[in-house]
Amino acid sequence: MPDKEFIAADVNPTIENGSVSWEAPSNIALVKYWGKKENQIPANPSLSFTLKNCKTTTKLNYVKVTEAHQNSEEITFEVIFEGVKKESFKPKIASFFKRILPYCAYLKHFRFEIISENSFPHSSGIASSASGMSALALCVMSLEKSLFPEMSDDFFNKKASFLARLGSGSAGRSIKGNMVVWGEHKDVLLSSDYYGIEYPLKTNAVFKDYQDTILLVDKGIKQVSSTVGHDLMHGHPFAEARFKQANDHLSELIPAFADADLETFIKIVESEALSLHSMMMSSDPYFLLMKPNTLALIHKIWEKREQSGIPVCFTLDAGANVHMLYPSANKEEILEFVKNELVVYCENGHYICDEVGEGAKML
């Protein structure tokens, strides 16, 4: 099994209690992950910008329990989110612990308190599973490192991404900075279906601080979860063509990143967003996550690009919000454009200014 290297020895810890905190970012996919095999293995490779400002901060408190209180199947924990005890978050975290237990058997010796908060508004329609699961996975890895101090930084990051991926696929791309590839791809050496790696190929400086202004069209909870969406790719009539397209798109992006070929970058990134949503529209049952204002914003962005020559483009995640991407050199003019022409399409005029970031940080 290729994941064998991540199975930690089942030691009886000498540590009685402790606490660790991590801050982990969200990410926005340029090549989208949509469709998976068993055990959170992606059907195609994906590539993302790591964000800087949209992040989750998590503190993990742990206390050793007596043998009588240990359960090798289930971990005991409480969740406090933004100051409030959250029972509703527990099932997702319980299933995360269950999935990672074969790789982190030492967890059963402890009970946990997970204290978490997001930098972005809870009801912004921005998925917090990527930043939330990666922050928690990093906390678990810090505990593992205190039990196995000889572990290398490279292994720490790889396993953190491996664990985060088991919580939420895209969370595996929220450990390291700038750009991350997750899923095996023929042109990206050392890429893996099991964890994300920092994009290892030549990247022009323009992409190091690329801007992402997130236009909040709909702050509600998505009507169709990504879990359901991924599932609908099984037996989807266009699935195989879509998985091939994602692989081809990643290949085409490689020279575009090296040469700052923004025309190709824009063409691929927008095509990926529309392909993702066209998969949703053509699945059985079909569904639609874009809203009228999503389309209005896409047309405004196209119009702006046409008229000003600024290389501004859009991408979408599994929701109605629009991520507007552009080089930092155009920041001033684009933020004026947002204030003057785009806020009317945003729910309560809300948007978030973000940019490419460096990855997770231990606090």
d(CA 222, CA 33) in angstroms, rounded, equals: 17
Measured from the CB of residue 133, what is the shortest distance to ligand PMV in angstroms?
Answer: 8
Measured from the CB of residue 316, what is the shortest distance to ligand PMV in angstroms?
Answer: 8
Nearer to ligand PMV, 234 or 339 (CB): 234
d(CA 126, CA 88) in angstroms, rounded, equals: 18
> What separation, in Å, do the N-terminal and C-terminal C-alpha atoms of the chain show?
34
Q: How many CB atoms lie within 10 A of CB 157?
A: 20
Nearer to ligand PMV, 280 or 334 (CB): 280
Q: Does 134 bind ligand PMV (CB under 6 A)?
A: no
Q: Which of 116, 124, 168, 191 binds ligand PMV (CB under 6 A)?
A: 168
Q: Does 170 bind ligand PMV (CB under 6 A)?
A: yes
Nearer to ligand PMV, 222 or 361 (CB): 222
Contact criterion met (CB below 8 Å) for 310 and 332: no
Binding mask 179-218 for ligand PMV (x = CB under 6 A): ----------------------------------------
Measured from the CB of residue 51, what is the shortest distance to ligand PMV in angstroms?
Answer: 12
Nearer to ligand PMV, 33 or 62 (CB): 33
Measured from the CB of residue 336, what is the shortest distance to ligand PMV in angstroms?
Answer: 29
In the range 37-56, which residues lie near ligand PMV by CB under 6 A? 46
Q: Does 320 bind ligand PMV (CB under 6 A)?
A: no
Measured from the CB of residue 145, what is the shortest distance to ligand PMV in angstroms?
Answer: 25
In the range 244-273, which residues lie near ligand PMV by CB under 6 A? none
d(CA 177, CA 203) in angstroms, rounded, equals: 13
Which residue carries 């099994």 as its tokens?
1
Please give the C-alpha separations between residue 330 and each of 184, 211, 314, 337, 345, in angstroms, as whole numbers.
34, 9, 15, 11, 21
On the CB side of 260, CA atoms within 13 Å amount to 10
d(CA 315, CA 358) in angstroms, rounded, equals: 21
Those residues whose C-beta lies under 8 Å from the C-beta of residue 324, and which sit 6 or more positions away, are 211, 212, 213, 214, 215, 297, 301, 312, 313, 314, 334, 338, 342
Q: Which stretch binds ligand PMV (CB under 6 A): 2-10, 31-39, 68-76, 289-297?
A: 31-39
Nearer to ligand PMV, 32 or 158 (CB): 32
Q: Does 169 bind ligand PMV (CB under 6 A)?
A: yes
Cα-based torsion angle of the residue sequence 221, 362, 176, 314 in order, rounded to the nearest 10 degrees = 40
DSSP state of 287: -
Measured from the CB of residue 59, what is the shortest distance to ligand PMV in angstroms?
Answer: 23
Q: Does 275 bind ligand PMV (CB under 6 A)?
A: no
Contact criterion met (CB below 8 Å) for 215 and 125: no
Strand partners, 313: 325
Q: Which of 140, 216, 318, 320 binds ligand PMV (CB under 6 A)?
A: 318
Q: Does 129 bind ligand PMV (CB under 6 A)?
A: yes
Query: Which pair of structure tokens corresponds to residue 116?
Result: 């978490």
Helix (H, G, I), strand (E, B) or coil at 33: coil
Q: Does 226 bind ligand PMV (CB under 6 A)?
A: yes
Interface positions with ligand PMV (CB under 6 A): 29, 32-34, 46, 127, 129, 168-170, 226, 230, 276, 317-318
